[in-house]
Structure 1
């Protein structure tokens, strides 16, 4: 098993080859009569190892390559995909896309973004930090992590698996305007899921660390210990009485709350008229102190990208400033459907920040006084058409600013419009492990359904 993750693939060596293939596909589309073509390529490779109760469960090496080809015949669109990069396979995929386009309906909004809008500058965003780790070393890290968690307390009685992974890849996008952009990136993680017992009761919880560079990860011991702490803290859970109370969303839950906002202002939801924030551009959606903004060109950012899925150059922008909705999330297609301009967000947002106006979680618990701290959410009870929100939750009941006991089997409910306007504070305890960076979010009141 003496293979390390770098021997699986070096994306920098593949980048030129993939750009050449994209150019070949665009040429082939022209030869087959397409008026326009765009090609997206992804190449991913990595190593992952998992252990459970000290035993190796899996060791996986992967290498995946895929081409997504879209052609336009006038304003008819056809798409095909292939993982085969041989000349014959590419020719067949382009032919399939062209055949689909011939039978497709005319769509006045279909087509490439305007040529003059293509990204001009593609800065190096420092996204590639390979981890020279062998399968044996990945297994040892996972074992070290699990041992730290299992050894934390006698009440940790089982494990649901501990994982070490290292992945890297290359993305290339090109279109008939002559634009071809590419970047290489890496992502590494260590995670652990543990099970604790108290009498007949059993609880499960987890922790993970994630980063572009291995040096940015928490230690394996820290991950195991945090997973154990979180699991133990859930023992002895009670229900709460049905009623209304303030709710504090822990950072990892708060990012999900913000993702519902992003879904409601995305072009697809808007042109389908399936958003509770329809026609809210320029209107107040959050308290006037709150700002939510995107920084796609951050060096080393987990969501950084210099161009979007249409080839447009990304740029910093506010979605919320002074509580007012300043921008939608628009691709070229959704912008045309709405009679607007693309915001260079084809493929979504890149590095979203919710500005804090308060201290850490302890400060927010004090500010809340009595209420529910939510550390887990379950179910899919979110309706973006109406804004109605109802989800199963777990966490801790708080009185006088102090955690009193764990809470389970409670439902929290409200309408997202009211929830967003009811945000009292955003903490500085930011979770930096994803594309949405936010601290804890305190909401003034939500309905709780318990006992």
Structure 2
């Protein structure tokens, strides 16, 4: 498979040279995906997709253009290159576009050690459907569940190869599988829903479909009778299911694209303490069996472990070659790309320091406040970090969950929130983003 994709990328580079490009890089992707959904004990939806996609970026002086196609014929490859070069000649100049040089390339890697691809055979459609039916049945068996909105399984296998006119050539394969279930409890206007799911690189690592369905049902039943919480300033505990989104806002503000535009609320925070002093946030693209792992980035640079925040202090931005040049820095090997766009910075696997206390212990400490298990919508000022999101979860009094809540808004400023957070010890270590439940003091709730 990778040899076939490597041939496509070499054909694309050759066509780009003949069309007049000064430099070029090419990517070829071969993907297969399968999805199965069931409803009321029967197959509801089944879909399989297969195909090869090609992408070509050409540079003519300080101008660039990208084209893509899903046809791998020789005539299409030649047409792609000709159109890309013609587009580049009409594009505005960009003094920061760049291609990695030979001395920067990844030269040795062991993709097998990263276990990015499951070596087992693709699961059959019958096996996938059986898992979805198992999850649905387990949810329906929970007392109080009135229906299942959907239960499903997915499987994907994707191989890619990247090559550049400066001499880099490399590829790897990746797989992923998932089982999910959404359950509904109650009737009419009093209905509530919740979910559970699992996603893994190896199909055999998936949690039990029965457990997933049961937990989805139990969560939905727990939400019955939800009402608005009081309005005021209270401590808020972000459940581990959604706490990664809070750290995701921070990671987005550290993206080189936001920094060069001046549109980040952390644009002036390099070298400053943005988290409590004992907390570190580390990126590690070499964790085995984790979805964000990769041996090299979208520009052929070797990926490496780095501390984004060390002992609370921001150490650097997330950069590709272009944003690094614009900022007068070195790339952090974080370029990501698809077939139809140029590289851009993107963080991979992230792991945050966990605390010493459980979620239950943090709940007991907050006294009165809100446990958030689900968020709806987002309103964040990218320049100031002002934060406002719809939320639902559970009201806590005297350290104990007392009733479910919905239709409330949580507001604050992200920079202040990060400085005041306390992590629990409940992060799931197999996820790409390992973030535990997070307690944040003094947020504003708008409820009843």
Name the residue aligned to 1:98.
Answer: 85
- In 2, the alpha carbon distance for the partners of 1:359 and 1:64 equals 48
**Residue of structure 2 in register with 1:193 after alignment:** 182
Structure 2 vs 1, CA of residues 145 and 286 (structure 1 numbering), >3 Å: closer, same or farther?
A: same
Report deviation, 1:68: 1.5
- Matching residue of 1:287: 276
Residue 386 of structure 1, CA deviation? 1.3
TM-score, normalized by length of structure 1?
Answer: 0.94
Query: Could you tell me how far apart the structure 1 residues matched to 2:14 and 2:109 are?
Result: 23
Q: 2:389 aligns with which of 376, 388, 391?
A: 391
- Once the two structures are TM-superposed, the CA of residue 434 in structure 1 deviates from its matched residue by 4.0
Q: Does 1:41 align with 2:28?
A: yes
Which residue in 1 is equivalent to 2:58? 71
Aligned counterpart, 1:354? 352
Take 1:36 and 1:422, find their aligned partners in 2: how far apart are those partners? 48
Range moving further from structure 2, 389-398 or 107-116: 107-116
Q: Does 1:262 align with 2:251?
A: yes
Name the counterpart of 2:437: 440
Deviation at 1:336, TM superposition (A): 1.1
Bigger mean CA offset, 142-151 vs 193-202: 193-202
User: Secondary structure of 1:218's partner?
Assistant: coil
Residue in 2 aligned with 1:206?
195
1:10-409 matches, within 5 Å, as: 14-124=1-111, 125-129=114-118, 130-153=120-143, 155-197=144-186, 200-347=189-336, 348-409=346-407
SS in 1 for 2:186: strand
CA RMSD after TM alignment: 1.3
Shift of 1:389: 0.4
Contact 2:100/2:166 (8 A) holds in 1: no
Secondary structure of 2:380's match? coil
* CA deviation string 1:379-410 (max 9, x = no partner): 12122211010000000111222111101111
Structure 2 segments unaligned to the other structure (5+ residues): 337-345
CA distance in 1, matches of 2:63, 2:175: 37
Contact 2:146/2:187 (CA < 8 Å) preserved in 1? no
Q: C-alpha separation between the residues in 2 aligned to 1:122 and 1:304?
A: 12
Q: Quick check: 2:8–2:28 contact (8 Å CA) kept in 1?
A: no
Unaligned runs of at least 5 residues, structure 1: 1-13
Check the 8 A contact 1:193/1:207 in 2, yes or no: yes
- TM-score in terms of structure 2 length: 0.95
Aligned-pair CA distance for 1:40: 2.0
Aligned residue in 1 for 2:447: 450
Shift of 1:358: 2.4
Aligned residues: 436
> Are the counterparts in 1 of residues 290 and 430 from structure 2 also a CA contact under 8 Å?
no
Q: Secondary structure at the match of 1:379?
A: strand
